[in-house]
């Protein structure tokens, strides 16, 4: 603007002195107009640049503020994660401690179990005799005249001759041998013998006894679920046999051992209701007492 003013002043002096023609004046005015437009454009450009710089400064300030906020949030999150990790570490250490304690307890229990098994295997002959007496009290083995004792050795299995094949044994010999194997805790052999007995002599008066003893082999092996099913076969297949009360009693006891108290009590109540005068019912009543 100062340059334009100087030019105007100089032209005015020349015009006053008569040194400038009209054409020169037109040229000067045209030049002045161009300079004014150029100056105006430069002013606009400068204003635009200033505005852009201002926008950039504002954007930079906003970005810096956003970054500061994000950094603050990140620090809070990191602090929270650090705290969570510390808590999880504490829980893991606690779980490891409890697991170690549990392993020690299981090892101690396993040691006790092995000792109990060793004590069980060392049971004397008097214990076997007491078991036989209990079985007789519960009517687990019928006492009919002339019947072979459960402990009697069948003729085919005497020391002077090798045991005969199950397929050729007599009814009484096969039954006595299987029962002897049961008493001697040879459960798998006893089970096979009783199964063979039922297959060969399905109409025998001792067929229900044989089926019951199959259940007993599983019961004594602590396979209580399978024992319950075999006792149920006694109840369903031989409903009029003398082993039904015993089968019901052992079913109830097996359910107790499986921690299924509801079914255990239900079966023992059924036993007391259907066979109230039996020794098994007396045992069931004592078991049902609160």
Same-domain pairing of 105 and 88: yes
Tell whether 172 and 28 lie within a shared domain: no
Query: To 5 degrees, how large is the angle CA 215–CA 220–CA 221?
Result: 100
Q: Phi-psi region for residue 220, left (φ > 0), alpha (ψ -120 to 50) or beta?
A: alpha
User: Whole-angstrom Cα distance, residue 221 to residue 212?
Assistant: 14
170 and 247 both lie in a single domain:
yes
We report the CATH number of the domain holding residue 130 as: 1.25.40.10
Residue 106 and residue 133 in one domain: no
Residues 170 and 209 in one domain: yes
24 and 130 part of one domain:
no
Output the pLDDT for position 43.
86
Tell which of 88, 118, 148 closes a domain. 118
Whether 148 is covered by a domain: the verdict is: no
For the chain, state the CA radius of gyration.
54
Q: Determine, yes or no, domain membership for 217.
A: yes
Contact 178, 193 (CB under 8 A): yes
Residue 155 lies in a domain: no
* 156 belongs to a structural domain: no
pLDDT per position as a tens digit, 175-191: 999 999 999 999 999 99
277 with 168, same domain: the answer is: yes
Listed in sequence order, the residues at least 6 apart from 140 whose beta carbon sits closer than 8 Å to its beta carbon are 212, 243, 246
Res 1: pLDDT: 62
CB atoms within 10 A of CB 100: 10
131 and 241 share one domain: yes
pLDDT for 59-70, tens place per residue?
Answer: 888 888 988 899
Q: Do 134 and 242 belong to one domain?
A: yes
Shared-domain flag, residues 227 and 112: no
Please answer whether residues 243 and 211 qualify as being in contact, where contact means their C-beta atoms are separated by less than 8 angstroms. Answer: yes
- Look at residue 166 in the predicted model and tell me its pLDDT: 78
The answer as to whether 144 is a domain residue is: no
pLDDT, position 160: 35
* 74 lies in the same domain as 172: no
Do residues 22 and 100 both lie within one domain? yes
The total domain count for the chain is 2
Q: Which helix (H) or strand (E) holds 131?
A: helix 125-137
pLDDT tens for the 290 residues of the chain, in order:
666 666 666 656 655 666 667 787 788 778 888 888 888 898 898 889 888 988 888 888 888 898 889 988 988 887 888 788 778 878 878 878 886 777 677 677 776 777 755 565 554 444 445 545 545 555 555 433 333 333 333 333 333 334 557 788 999 999 999 999 999 999 999 999 999 999 999 999 999 999 999 999 999 999 999 999 999 999 999 999 999 999 999 999 999 999 999 999 999 999 999 999 999 999 999 999 98
Per-residue HEC secondary structure of 29-81 comes to HHHHHHHHHHHHHHHHHHHHHHHHHHHHHHHHHHHHHHHHHHHHHHHHHHHHH
Return the pLDDT at 117.
Answer: 54
In angstroms, the CA 88 to CA 191 distance is 54
User: Is residue 152 a part of any domain in this protein?
Assistant: no
- Which residues span the domain enclosing 233? 126-139+164-288
pTM for the full predicted model: 0.48
Residue 54 within any structural domain of the chain: yes
């Amino acid at each position: 603007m100062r340059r334009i003013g100087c030019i105007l002043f100089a032209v005015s002096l020349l015009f006053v002195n008569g040194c400038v023609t009209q054409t020169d004046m037109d040229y000067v005015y045209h030049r002045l107009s161009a300079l004014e437009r150029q100056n105006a454009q430069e002013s606009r450009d400068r204003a635009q640049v200033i505005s852009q710089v201002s926008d950039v400064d504002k954007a930079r300030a906003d970005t810096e503020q956003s970054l500061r906020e994000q950094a603050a949030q990140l620090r809070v999150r990191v602090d929270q994660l650090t705290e969570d990790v510390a808590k999880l570490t504490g829980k893991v250490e606690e779980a490891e401690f409890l697991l170690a304690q549990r392993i020690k307890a299981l090892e101690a229990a396993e040691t006790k179990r092995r000792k109990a098994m060793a004590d069980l295997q060392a049971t004397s002959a008097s214990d076997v005799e007491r078991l036989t007496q209990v079985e007789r009290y519960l009517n687990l083995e019928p006492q009919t005249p002339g019947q072979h004792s459960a402990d009697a050795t069948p003729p085919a299995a005497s020391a002077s001759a090798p045991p005969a094949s199950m397929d050729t044994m007599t009814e009484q010999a096969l039954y006595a041998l299987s029962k002897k194997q049961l008493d001697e805790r040879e459960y798998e052999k006893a089970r096979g013998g009783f199964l063979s007995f039922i297959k060969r002599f399905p109409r025998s008066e001792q067929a229900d006894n044989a089926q019951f003893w199959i259940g007993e082999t599983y019961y004594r092996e602590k396979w209580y679920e399978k024992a319950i099913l075999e006792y149920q076969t006694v109840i369903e297949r031989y409903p009029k046999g003398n082993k039904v009360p015993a089968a019901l009693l052992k079913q109830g006891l097996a359910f107790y051992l499986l921690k299924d108290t509801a079914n255990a009590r239900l079966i023992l109540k059924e036993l007391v209701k259907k066979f109230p005068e039996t020794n098994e019912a007396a045992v069931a009543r004592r078991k049902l007492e609160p």
